[in-house]
Structure 1
Amino acid sequence: MTSPSPADLAAASAWEAPLASGPLDASVEIPGSKSLTNRLLVLAALADGPGVLRGALRSRDADLMIGALRSLGVRIEEGDAPSTLHVTPGPLTGDVDIDCGLAGTVMRFLPPVAALAAGPVRFDGDPHARVRPMRPVLAALAALGVEITRTDDAGPDDAGRAGPPSHLPFTVGGRGGLRGGQVDVDASASSQFVSGLLLAAARFDEGLSLRHIGTTLPSVPHIEMTVATLREVGVVVDDSRDGIWVVEPGPIAARDVRVEPDLSNAAPFLAAALVAGGSVSVPGWPTTTTQPGALVPGLLERMGGTASLSDGVLTVTGDGTIHGIDVDLHAAGELAPTFAALAALADSPSRLRGIAHLRGHETDRLAALATEITRLGGQAEETRDGLVITPRPLHGGLWHTYADHRMATSGALLALATPDVLVEDVETTAKTLPDFTSLWQAIL
Structure 2
Amino acid sequence: MTANPAHTSLWPAPHASGAVDATVHVPGSKSVTNRALVLAALASEPGWLRRPLRSRDTLLMAGALRAMGIEIEEGVGPDGTGEAWRVLPTSLRGPATVDVGNAWHGDAVPPPVAALADGPVRFDGDPRSYERPLNGVIDALRHLGARIDDDGRGALPLTVHGGGALDGGTVSVDASSSSQFVSALLLSAPRFNQGVEVRHTGSTLPSMPHIRMTVDMLRAVGAQVDSPESGGEPNVWRVTPGALLGRDLTIEPDLSNAQPFLAAALVTGGRVVIPDWPARTTQGGDRLREIFTDMGGSCELTEYGLVFTGSGSVHGIDVDLGDVGELAPGIAAVAALADSPSTLRGVAHLRLHETDRLAALTKEINELGGDVTETADGLHIRPRPLHGGVFHTYEDHRMATAAAVIGLGVEGVRVENVATTAKTLPDFPDLWTGMLGA
TM-score tier after normalising by the smaller chain length: over 0.9
Gap runs ≥5 in structure 2:
none
Show the counterpart of 1:363: 355
Corresponding residue of 2:160: 172
State how many pairs are aligned.
Answer: 426
Q: Residue 406 of structure 1 aligns with which residue?
A: 398
| Counterpart check, 1:236 vs 2:229 | no
Distance 1:188 1:318 in 2: 36
The residue type equivalent to 1:216 in the other structure is T
Residue in structure 2 matched with residue 30 of structure 1 by the alignment: 26
* Deviation sequence 1:24-53 (CA, Å, 0-9, x none): 110000010000000000000000111000
AA aligned to 2:211 is I
How far residue 133 of structure 1 moved from its aligned partner, in angstroms, is 2.1
Query: Unaligned regions of 5+ residues in structure 1, if any?
Result: 1-5, 152-157, 159-164
Matching of residues 12-411 of structure 1 within 5 Å:
13-80=9-76, 83-105=83-105, 109-150=109-150, 158=152, 165-239=153-227, 240-411=232-403
SS in 1 for 2:202: coil
Report deviation, 1:386.
0.3
Name the SS for the 1:79 alignment partner: strand
Partner Cα separation in structure 2 for residue 363 and residue 217 of structure 1: 20
What corresponds to 1:440 in structure 2? 432
Q: Verify the 8 A CA contact 1:57 1:83 in the aligned structure 2.
A: no
Q: State the TM-score, normalized to the length of structure 1.
A: 0.94
AA of the residue aligned to 2:36? L
C-alpha distance in 1 between matches for 2:107 and 2:212: 20
- Say whether the 8 Å CA contact 2:190–2:243 is kept in structure 1: yes
The AA in structure 1 aligned to 2:141 is: L
* 1:387-433 Cα distance to aligned partner (Å, 9 max, x none): 00000010000000000000000000000000000000000000000
Offset at 1:257? 0.8
Superposed CA offset, 1:254-275 (max 9, x none): 1011010000000110111111
Over residues 173-205 of structure 1, what are the superposed CA-to-partner deviations in whole Å (9 max), with x where a residue is unaligned? 101101111101110010000000000000001
Paired residues of 1:287 and 1:312 also in contact (CA < 8 A)? no
Identical counterparts, % of pairs = 58
The worse-fitting range, judged by mean Cα deviation, of 307-316 and 414-423 is: 307-316
Q: Any conservation in 1 of the 2:6–2:419 contact (CA below 8 Å)?
A: no
Shift of residue 303 of structure 1? 0.2
Output one character per residue of 1:331-362: Cα deviation in whole Å (capped at 9) or x when no partner: 10000011000100000000000000111110
- Aligned residues of 2:115 and 2:165 also touching (Cα < 8 A): yes
One-letter identity of the residue aligned with 1:340 = A
CA contact (8 A) 2:322 2:345 kept: yes
In structure 2, relative to structure 1, the CA distance for the partners of 1:271 and 1:222 (3 Å cut) is same
Q: Is the 8 A contact 2:31 2:107 kept in 1?
A: no
Amino acid in the other structure paired with 2:314 = I
Q: What is the CA-CA distance between 1:83 and the residue it aligns to?
A: 4.0
C-alpha separation in 1, matches of 2:370 and 2:246:
51
TM-score, L = length of structure 2:
0.95
Distance 1:348 1:332, change over 3 A: same
**What is the identity, as a one-letter code, of the residue corresponding to 1:207?**
G
Q: Secondary structure at the match of 2:61?
A: helix
**CA positional deviation for 1:215:** 1.2
Shift of 1:145: 1.8
Which aligned runs of 4 or more in structure 1 are off by greater than 3 angstroms? 9-12, 105-109
Could you report, residue by residue, the CA deviation over 1:198-253 in whole angstroms, capped at 9, with x for unpaired residues?
00000001100110011110000100000000001110001111100000000111
Partner Cα distance (1:210, 1:276) in 2: 46
Provide the rounded CA distance (Å) in 2 between the counterparts of 1:273 and 1:411: 15
- CA distance change for structure 1 residues 105 and 87 in 2, over 3 Å: closer, same or farther? farther
Distance in 2 between residues matched to 1:181 and 1:24, nearest whole Å: 53
SS at 1:380 equivalent:
strand
Shift, 1:106, TM fit: 6.1
Structure 1 residue 105: Cα displacement: 4.8
CA–CA distance in structure 1, aligned partners of residues 219 and 187 of structure 2: 11
Q: Match of 1:210, as an amino acid?
A: V
- How far apart are the structure 1 equivalents of 2:343 and 2:108? 30
Is the CA contact (8 Å cut-off) linking 1:186 and 1:213 kept in structure 2? Answer: yes
* Deviation of the 1:134 alpha carbon: 1.1
- Within a 5 Å distance, the mapping from 1:408-427 to structure 2 comes to 408-427=400-419
Deviates more, 1:402-411 or 1:313-322: 313-322
